[in-house]
Structure 1
Amino acid sequence: MAESSAVLPRVVLVTGASTFLGGYLVARLAANPQIERVLAVDSRVPRKDLLRRMGRAEFLRLDIRRPTIAKALVSYEVDTVVHAATSIADTAPHSAAIKEFNVVGAMQVCAACQRTPSVKRLVLRSTGMVYGSSAHDPSHFSEETRARREPKRGYGRDLLDVEGYVRGLGRRRPDIDITIVRPQAMLGPRITTRMGSYLSAPVVPTVIGYQPRLQFLHEEDALAAMEHVTLAGKPGTFNLSGEGVVTLSQAIRRVGHVELPVPSGLLAPIAGVFQDLRSAKLRSSQTEFLTYGRVLDTTRMRTELGFVPRYTTMETLDDFVKRSGVTPVIGTDVWRALEQRVVSAAHQLQ
């Protein structure tokens, strides 16, 4: 892999411009006068308020699964590509269509970069989900630690494959700096994530007998980290997370909601009972995460990448509670109604 040239990018193309992470990253880069041109790419038009924030950035309505992405790289002589389209994982339940978008989209982006001589830097927004979650996990995952039980499906599996394509590009084009970032679960007052939805439910189901250890990354730190790696051009793979660890029970109490311990097989069905109360739709990979947790070693982030998050894990959680509109109190009448629905759902599953 190439050594970092530490040269600021001239023309930056960011995929996933309609998402929170991609769109607000475009806005930050467009505000930097040292960058000559910023291109925002997505198949969907961003919200009007987000488009206004992008300022001088140019929006290109392109589907990254199509060869047109290669034409854009060549036409604008792009030197830095930030593949942030995977941030769709923040809100959407995984599906075959999402898998196609993640995997085929990444293949097209990598192929386009390989064929474009001007491209010298690629940044991939991956995820901490590539480590999976199991009872055999180490206390902390470093960037070199392989998952004890690799994800077989979902976003974790998708991004493992995508990371493979990106590393393959690095071998074929050793002159391109490859940077992969793996953020932990993100929380914040503006971003909508499945973890935020899960904690926002007044009654939060958990797995009986387990106390998963968690970390959080504040939305502002996620954006700052993406901007940092884009400008720094530091090649390598980096875990991203706020300092400190919190257990799931501590997080629920901090939010001011009620924990409801249930058998592991009932976690997803019971969470579905609270769907209209903003609880997340849980899938198998999420159930494993909420059973065993996941903690990342961020030494490399601080020492090699030179990035230090502003918010700790606990401060991220507190800011989420303070500014996202989460109601920390549940009324007696609401509790009785929810209890009846839980009992009814449990009887139906027997």
Structure 2
Amino acid sequence: MGKVVLVTGVARQLGGRFVRRIQRDPDVDRVIGVDAEPPEHHLGGAEFLRADIRQPAIAKVLAETGVDTVVHMDINGTPLGHRGSRGSVKEVNVIGTMQLLGACQKAPKLKRLVVKSSANVYGSAPRDPAVFDETTAPKSLPSGGFAKDAVEVEGYVRGFARRRPDVAVCVLRFANILGPCADSPLAEYFSLPVLPTVFGYDPRLQFVHEDDAIEALRMAASTPRRGTLNSGTFNIAGDGAVLLSQCSRRLGRPTLPLFLPTVTWAGSVLRALGITDFSPEQIRMLTHGRVVQTTQMRETLGFHPKYTTAETFAEFTRSRVPGLLPPEALARTVDRLAALLPAHGGPTQ
């Protein structure tokens, strides 16, 4: 008998793609996709069970299916298809995770738990280190939004790991996931015709391609190979970093530098209009940036991303509607202005 894998959050594109991918693993015998909403995409040969992980009934699902591996992907920053509210998303992220972990604790056949977390747990602050590793504590804990959800989720997962030391627990802290099917607040931000930015700041950003995200999850859910260990907490990101100004040039979208209070106000307006979830935590990231170290990802987990951060953004750019300005012309104009500023005593970066 091969492994029985249960995957949460399969109604989203990333969850659906992972389900289709994990079925091809030779040691996987059965895949069960779970979500409160039926997926609009196909799941290959996987079974779909309509179940809300916020409800105690999820324990019955694990008990009846004999699951030995759980991949928890139903932790997100936005509602599915923009249906629902921030409150409903938090309930799924936090209450749903609590219920799922309670069910996992009672599942005697469970051997492996993989959790899709986020590098948002590190927050974004002016005195942050240049690079976060897995042991770095944030200067200030996220005060709200998806980042706070991720911190709470990881706390519950650590509690579960202490109660079930027989289960291999792997937490993957993903950098911003981008790609042709990306569905995230940052992808929505980059789709705006003009990008609001914080005056005087040009943050470093880091991305992971959705294909690499799926492969990292698959590796974490698989039987460990010699020399690898798929348990623990790992940062997952493509090599390198890019500046926000470079992103705007490559997209062909002009920026609109605003003072921080104005950006905060603009974010609240965009959220109220339903255009994008321009949350305070995203504003902090677009002010101070965030870069994570991936040494443990390579040396301990044994995962090597196919795409760098720059290549990930290039793939994402090709999947978007072209911006208002040709990227090449925008880049030349910005470079010329930057070259002129020192000659006239202007500010330099």
Q: In the alignment, which of 2, 9, 13 is matched to residue 20 of structure 1?
A: 13
The counterpart of 1:241, out of the listed 237, 243, 264, is 237
With over 3 angstroms needed to count, the CA separation of the structure-2 counterparts of 1:247 and 1:321, relative to structure 1, is same
User: Match of 1:294?
Assistant: 290
Q: Is the 8 A contact 1:201 1:278 kept in 2?
A: no
Deviations 1:254-278 (A, max 9, x none): 1111011000111143357778999
- Give 1:9 deviation, angstroms: 6.3
Give matches, 1:88-107, under 5 Å: 89=78, 95-107=86-98
Q: Distance in 1 between matches of 2:106 and 2:273?
A: 48
Quick check: 1:198–1:279 contact (8 Å CA) kept in 2?
A: no
SS of alignment partner, residue 186 of structure 1: strand
| C-alpha contact 1:19 1:88 (8 A) present in aligned 2 | no
Inter-CA distance 79–267: structure 2 relative to 1 (3 Å threshold): same
Partner residue of 2:47?
58
Amino acid paired to 1:288? R
Q: What code does the residue aligned with 1:65 have? A: R
Shift of 1:281: 2.8
Aligned-partner SS, 1:36: strand
SS at match of 1:151: coil
Please, which moves more after superposition, 172-181 or 89-98? 89-98
Amino acid at match of 2:306: R
Tell me, in whole angstroms, the C-alpha distance in 1 between the residues paired with 2:169 and 2:2: 14
Q: In structure 2, the residue corresponding to 1:325 is in which secondary structure?
A: coil
Q: What is the Cα-based RMSD across aligned positions, in Å?
A: 2.2
Q: CA deviation at 1:94?
A: 6.5
Equivalent residues in 2 for 1:11-50 (5 A)?
A: 11-47=4-40, 50=41
1:125 paired residue number:
116
Q: Does 1:113 align with 2:109?
A: no
Structure 2 CA distance for aligned equivalents of residues 326 and 277 of structure 1:
21
Aligned to 2:28, the other structure's residue is in SS state: coil
Aligned residues: 319
Preserved contact between residue 2 and residue 30 of structure 2 (Cα < 8 Å):
no
8 Å contact kept, 2:178–2:316: yes
Greater Cα shift, 38-47 or 194-203: 194-203
Cα deviation code 1:225-270 (max 9, x no counterpart) = 1111111451100001110011111111111110110001111433
Tell me whether 63-72 or 90-99 shows the greater mean CA deviation: 90-99
Match of 1:254 in 2: 250
- The within-5 A match list for 1:107-256 is 107-232=98-223, 234-256=230-252
Contact 1:141 1:295 in 2 (8 A): yes
C-alpha contact 1:90 1:194 (8 A) present in aligned 2: no
Mark the CA change 1:87 to 1:97 in structure 2 (over 3 Å): closer, same or farther.
closer
- C-alpha change, 1:206 and 1:249, in structure 2 (3 Å) is same
Question: Partner amino acid for 1:329?
Answer: L
- Match of 2:329? none
Alignment check: 8 A CA contact 1:142 1:298 kept: yes
> In the alignment, what sits opposite 1:264?
260
**Amino acid of the residue matched to residue 201 of structure 1?**
L
**2:272 & 2:253 partners in 1: Cα distance?**
16
TM-score of the superposition, structure 1-length normalised? 0.86
Deviation at 1:326, TM superposition (A): 2.3
Residue 303 (structure 1) aligned to one of 299, 302, 306: 299
For residues 18-57 of structure 1, the C-alpha deviation after alignment (integer angstroms, 9 at most, x for no partner) is 012211111111233431110000010000xx22xx2211
Tell me the percent identity: 44
* Residues 1:328 and 2:317 are matched in the alignment: no
Shift of 1:195: 1.2
Cα offsets for 1:52-100 (capped at 9, x unmatched): xx22110000011111111111111100001101135487597222212
Determine the C-alpha separation between the residues in 1 that align with 2:23 and 2:206: 30
* Residues 1:232 and 1:274: Cα distance change in structure 2 (over 3 Å): same
Q: Is the 8 A contact 2:116 2:171 kept in 1?
A: yes
Which structure 2 residue ranges, 5 or more long, are not aligned? 225-229, 327-349
Partner in structure 2 of residue 334 of structure 1: none
- Give, in angstroms, the shift of residue 105 of structure 1: 0.6
Which residue matches 1:340? Answer: none
Instruction: Output the CA distance in 2 between the equivalents of 1:268 and 1:9.
Output: 51
Give the 3 Å change call, closer, same or farther, for CA 219–125 of structure 1 in structure 2.
same
Using the TM superposition, give the Cα deviation of residue 102 of structure 1 relative to its aligned residue in structure 2, in angstroms.
1.1
The one-letter code matched in structure 2 to 1:186 is I
Q: Counterpart amino acid of 1:158?
A: D
One-letter identity of the residue aligned with 2:245: S
